[in-house]
Amino acid sequence: MTFDELREKAHALPLKPGVYIMQNAKSEVIYVGKAKALKNRVSQYFQDQDRHNLKTRTMVHQIDHFDVIVVQSEFEALVLENAMIKRHMPRYNILLKDDKGYPVIRLTVKEDYPKFSLARKAASDGARYFGPYGTRGASQAIIDALCAALHLPTCSRKFPRDIGKERPCLNYHMGICDGYCRPNMDQSQYKAAISTAVRLLEGKLDDVVQELTAEMEQAAEALQFEKAAQIRDRIRDLEQLTTRQKAVAASMADTDVVGYYREEARCCFVVLHYLRGELAAKDWELLPPPLEEDEGETVTALTAQYYGPRGRLPRQILLPNCVEDTEELSQMFTQQAGHKVEVLTPQRGAKAELTGMAAENAREEVLRATTAEERQSKLTEALGNLLGMDHPPHRIEAFDISNQGSDDIVASMTVHVDGRPLKRDYRLFKLKDMAHADDYASMRQVVERRFRRYLDGDERFGEMPDLLLMDGGAGQVACAVQAMEELGISVPVFGMVKDNRHRTRALVAGDGREIGIQQNQALFAMVGRIQEETHRTAITFHRKQQEGHMKGSALDDIPGIGPAKKAALLKAFRSIKAIKAAGEDELAAVVGKKAAAAVKEKLCPPESMKESTKESTKDAAAEERDASADDENIVEPEDADEDEIIGLPEDEDAENLDPDAPQGDPDEES
């Protein structure tokens, strides 16, 4: 089917709950999803593709046809979706590991001396199975803890074949095994210990402790103090079992807390097991990023998969507040467990703090498994995909204008390479020929000057950016595009628009189309940092310009003394007082004879000249400026006149700075 045919078929679907099955040209199931309203959900895949992430667009391009199954309720849709995901294992569904990752505990109940072991999955062989409990290590820890608490043998001897053949092993002498390999041992004692272990795996710890306490008291009353002491020690071992072996407690947990965290590189699903309010164990799994952009849908699917193969379920499951299908999940788990399973999404209080801690655990696992380079690479890749670029933007240049009326209109250009600020490439502009404040004209001039320098071979502008970001809306973007078109240059341009609280809201194209970035928190934070840094740099430069005009200098308005010669004099003599005290020959050695004479005349005028009028001084200054015009056009590399582009010093390179650190006040008005 063509894309248009798929869209028409989706629009013809009913507004009823159900499951949709996406298939490729080979009729292979590539994605299974559920919907409260099939028409609304399936139609979203065949709308504007720019709104989808790369993974979703790739999946949609592979769809040849799709089927739907209409059901009566959202609960039936959830159950059916989970069953079909298990059956087809679709490529684009987020999938937990198969049963290999969740072994079960096997007990050979038909043997005279039953024994615990690990198995990949339950089988119809007459044995009894418990679990699954997570990894093989966690399952083995359960067996080890039970055997230690109940003094069951863990050696390789076979019973009853090896009874009495050899002396008891070291475990017996250490007091961690009752020595069932000894002759004349009571077989019923072994079976009683196994029965106790089974009850513990079934979650009946309180019943076991209560029975043993009664047996201990009875032995004490019969003056069997040694037996009473042994039972006391057994009770103590069982009560400490949750402390010494957390994995056992997890198999009897009464509350599970689910956490989820997603980054561009991968995501993590975490389950914290609580027993009597105390954290008993943690189960987690790292996964590739899901196709589904709705976090609630992803958590619901993973939760259903996680508890699907488990024989025991807790009484209560706490989910992040992004999940909506709690009633359906509760109904499904209750039917599966045979007892009431309450599924909640706490909004506040102690339970909400638990879900927050689970989410933080998921975040820590993702950060541990992902290097900073991987995260940043995925972040720029996500930005490129969102903006429809052919490749991730390695170098991003951002522009902002700062002004106060028509005076001191300035602009900043910040550079971010792979998302990190590169301050040695920052550039600051003084705007020319601006009769009044005009952000559009200012942005056009700045972009035109930046790329004209590139075309002229200026090494300071020798590297082309992959992306331009304007602090502003569609108008600023259009001006930047027009300036580049006139120069024959093409670079993707987008505006960074803010909300009414002066915070980054979205990116905007030249046609006014807004591209939301708030769904991806990491990407949203990166764009916000770029905008704040660019704004801060422009504001700082603007304030410095204003402060320079307010403070002024005794060297201002001296004919033949421009910024370069002023800087040279201050560098040579360190202060105005020293310049006044210097001889004319000393000054001439720095700025030339004509300029030195002008400095002496201005700073140390003869008595007859002190009363000269202000007008005559201005006329003399004008003549001197005309005479020294050629000198003023010779600019040292570290200096710049008012028409030049000013770069930040090399020692302000911030490649190693933390990009998450605050970069100025985002609410400061330009």
* Dihedral sign, Cα of residue 49, residue 53, residue 55, residue 56: negative
- Compute how many other C-beta atoms are within 10 angstroms of the C-beta atom of residue 91: 14
pLDDT surpassing 50 at residue 653: no
**Right CATH number for 253-370 from 2.60.40.1180, 3.40.50.1820, 3.30.420.10, 3.30.420.40?**
3.30.420.10
Cα of 347 vs its chain's centroid, Å: 22
- The residue with greater pLDDT, 164 or 261, is 261
Q: Which of 380, 378, 432 is nearest to 406 (CA)?
A: 432
In the chain, the amino acid numbered 515 is I
Predicted pLDDT at 132: 65
Average pLDDT over residues 100-129: 81
Domain coordinates in residue numbering, the chain: 3-93, 101-248, 253-370, 381-549, 563-640
**pLDDT grade, residue 556 (50/70/90)?**
confident
Q: What is the CATH number of domain 381-549?
A: 3.30.420.340
Predicted pLDDT at 668: 36
Q: Which of 295, 296, 285, 352 is nearest to 328 (CA)?
A: 296
170-179, 370-379, 492-501, 578-587: which range is least confident on average? 370-379
Distance in angstroms (rounded) separating the CA atoms of residues 119 and 139: 10
394-418 pLDDT, tens digit each: 999 999 998 876 567 889 999 998 8
CATH topology of domain 3-93: GIY-YIG endonuclease (3.40.1440)
pLDDT surpassing 60 at residue 99: no
Predicted pLDDT at 97: 65
DSSP element (H, E) containing 553:
none
- For the chain, the average pLDDT equals 79
Examine domains 3-93 and 381-549 and report if their fold is the same. no
pLDDT surpassing 50 at residue 34: yes
* Torsion from C-alpha of 642, 646, 652, 654, nearest 10 degrees: 130
The SS3 assignment for 421 reads: strand
Q: Which of 286, 290, 378 is nearest to 92 (CA)?
A: 290
Distance in angstroms (rounded) separating the CA atoms of residues 22 and 45: 11
End-to-end CA distance of the chain: 54
Predicted pLDDT at 318: 93
3-12, 48-57, 124-133, 547-556: which range is least confident on average? 547-556
